[in-house]
Chains A and B, each alone.
Chain A
Amino acid sequence: MTPLSFRSPPPWVSRALVILLLLVLWEILGRMGSQLFFSPLSMVATSGVTIFADREVLEALRTTAWILAIGFGLSVCIGLVLGLAVAMSRFTYQTFLPVLLLLYAIPQITVLPIFVLYFGSGPASKIAFGVSHGLFPIAVSVVAGVQGIKPLLVTSAISMGATRWQIFRRITLPYLAPSLFTGMRLASTATLLGVLLAELYVSSGGVGHFTRRFGESFQPDKLYALIAALSLMAILINETMRMLERRFSRWT
């Protein structure tokens, strides 16, 4: 075949082929090495069926899901308010943005024990740690979004008699929407990470507890089945956010 006559297949075909190849590789590698740390795909799939019939595991998934939902909701509210407050004026922007970025840059895992001491070993510490991961991407995106507003739009609105609330409602919010959803997409995975880390550390329940248990008791098949379920959760949230992001940024 000459290079000219070669037509690349549609993207979904090549993508599906790559994934298939990886799955086959997984199966082969899983059968070759020690089954203490790694399991072939076929075993993970059959374990998946059994662990998701396990009431305890289902309970853990449900626990993690609602902790994540609360954590994410709080991240959005706090992050939005914080971002708006920082972006409110030149003064607040110049004063507080560096502080915000500094806090964002801290590897938060180092302060996890303090979260647990303060919020206890129940769901509160997991929610709080999730929020501490989710709120910064949102706040920073909101600040960036507000900074991007064209001053002329505001000047024009003021000349037409717009009140502060009208400027916020008709200009700031719609202008902000795309960056807010970008922030929410980043925050959703960050919050999940925070929640899982806290669950791993405290290990009193939730998915994190089971990943630890399966890992330490050399049941990699179950571990990977659980990871697959978690990944699915993350992908679903991510894609929902991306849809919203696209929906609200059609005009850009």
Chain B
Amino acid sequence: MTNETGRGAMAETLIKVEDVSHVFPAPDGGGEVIALEGIDIEIGRGEMVSLIGPSGCGKSTLLNVIGGMIAPSQGAALIGGARVRGPRPKEVAYIFQESALLPWATILDNIKVSLEFQKAPRATRDQVAREALKAVGLDAFATSYPHQLSGGMKQRAALARALSLRTDVLLMDEPFAALDEQTRMIFSEDLSRLLANERKTILLVTHSLAEAVFLSDRIFVFTSRPGRIKAVLEVDEPHPRSPAFMTSPKFNDLRNRLYELLRDEVLAAIGKDRQGLA
């Protein structure tokens, strides 16, 4: 099955977010912060979706609501029709900004411990872990410790761990943010190839316009706080996408439209600081 059928409203819906709002107490102690307001989205199986918006717009919060790590103040997330009430390790795997690898364990052991957490059958853990490392090209580093790897390799190991869990859904919370640009581009290409080969449903929180356009089937643009969905952009381009796509007029056009949509929101988000300058 190609990714063509896995896009847009035509595909079978895997993730549904119904009227989700989330409020949390303000960090300075006074009052409340509305992080999300009235979010209603549907994501098809095999779709690659980016969440983009100014800092503090609640996109990570939405990711955590879908992942079952945060119970929303209102509304609900559903995966495969079932309401999310807590972590769903068999269905959802995370990749964070930092690799979150245990520093005292080798890369292989890290993945095996994760499989133990997930309650995967003991007998297959070693094999599954090795296969996942091979899939991301880290098989030669199975017995290395995290501190022996570069930032890009650590994120690759985190990707291997997420893949080894064999979940339908991957939630990525700014996974490339700490990497340098070249590493980021290679990583994006790898991810696009993965999307073409495996039918993963991916939600990516990102600040990078280029990354969002290069990787996504759809891009959800958030408003500044309280986070609402301002617009949805579709990127009609089959995976795997090549670096040539990045220099195409289509890419530039989408990137510019995305920037126009975001510009006002980013200005609004930092508005208080800028008023004095204007």
Report A-chain residues with C-beta under 8 Å of the C-beta of B267.
Answer: none
The complex places the Cα of A155 from the Cα of B89 at a distance, in Å, of 12
| Size of B's binding interface in residues, CB under 8 A | 25
Taking the closest CB of chain A, its distance from the CB of B49, in whole angstroms, is 19
Q: Which of B97-105, B149-157, B199-207, B220-228 contacts A (4 or more CB under 8 A)?
A: B97-105
Contact with A along B104-115 (1 / 0, CB 8 A): 110000000110
In A138-177, the 8 Å CB interface with B consists of: 150, 152-153, 155-162, 166, 170-171, 174-175, 177
Give the residue among B67, B92, B114, B118 with the most A Cβ atoms within 10 A: B114
Which chain B residues border A8 with CB–CB below 8 Å? none
Q: Chain A's nearest CB lies how many Å from the CB of B99?
A: 9
Q: Do A160 and B102 have beta carbons less than 8 Å apart?
A: no
A252 within 8 A of B: yes
Closest to B92 in A: A159
Give Cα A29–Cα B151 distance, bound, in whole angstroms: 61
Chain A residues contacting B96 (CB-CB under 8 Å) are 152, 155-156
B69 within 8 A of partner (CB): yes
For the complex, is A6 an interface residue (Cβ under 8 Å from B)?
A: no
Q: Smallest CB-CB separation from A167: which chain B residue?
A: B117
Does the CB pair A153–B165 fall under 8 Å? no
**A251 in the interface (beta carbon within 8 A):** yes
Contact of B100 with A152 in the complex, beta carbons under 8 Å: yes
Q: Are A174 and B102 in contact (CB under 8 A)?
A: yes
Determine if B103 and A252 form an interchain contact, defined as CB atoms under 8 angstroms apart. yes
**B103 to A160, Cβ gap below 8 A?**
no
Chain A CB within 8 A of B75 CB: no
Interface pair B104/A160, CB less than 8 Å apart: no
CB closest residue in chain A, given B171: A159
> Given A155-B69, A174-B102, A251-B103: A160 and B114 within 8 A (CB)?
yes
Across-interface contacts of A251 in B (CB, < 8 A): 103-104, 145, 147
Structural contact, A160 and B145, CB atoms closer than 8 A: no
The minimal Cβ–Cβ distance linking B69 to chain A, given in whole angstroms, is 6
Bound form: Cα–Cα A152–B113 in Å: 16
Do B103 and A156 have beta carbons less than 8 Å apart? no
Contacts of B100 in A (CB 8 A): 150, 152-153, 155-156
User: How many angstroms between the C-alpha atoms of A251 and B101 in the bound complex?
Assistant: 12
Q: Which of B104, B113, B147 has the most A CB atoms < 10 Å from its CB?
A: B104
Judging by beta carbons under 8 Å apart, are A156 and B94 in contact?
yes
Q: Closest chain A residue to B104 by CB distance?
A: A251
- Chain B hits for A162, CB < 8 A: 117
A175 / chain B contacts, CB cutoff of 8 Å = 104
**Nearest Cβ distance between residue B164 and chain A, in whole angstroms?**
10
**12 contacting pairs across A/B (C-beta < 8 A):** A152-B98, A153-B102, A156-B94, A156-B96, A158-B69, A159-B92, A160-B165, A170-B113, A170-B117, A171-B102, A174-B104, A177-B104
User: A-side interface residues toward B, CB under 8 Å?
Assistant: 150, 152-153, 155-162, 166, 170-171, 174-175, 177, 250-252
**B interface residues (Cβ-Cβ under 8 A, vs A):** 67-69, 87, 89-90, 92-94, 96, 98, 100, 102-105, 113-114, 116-119, 145, 147, 165
- Contacts A153-B102, A159-B94 known; list 4 others, CB within 8 Å: A156-B94, A160-B89, A160-B93, A174-B102
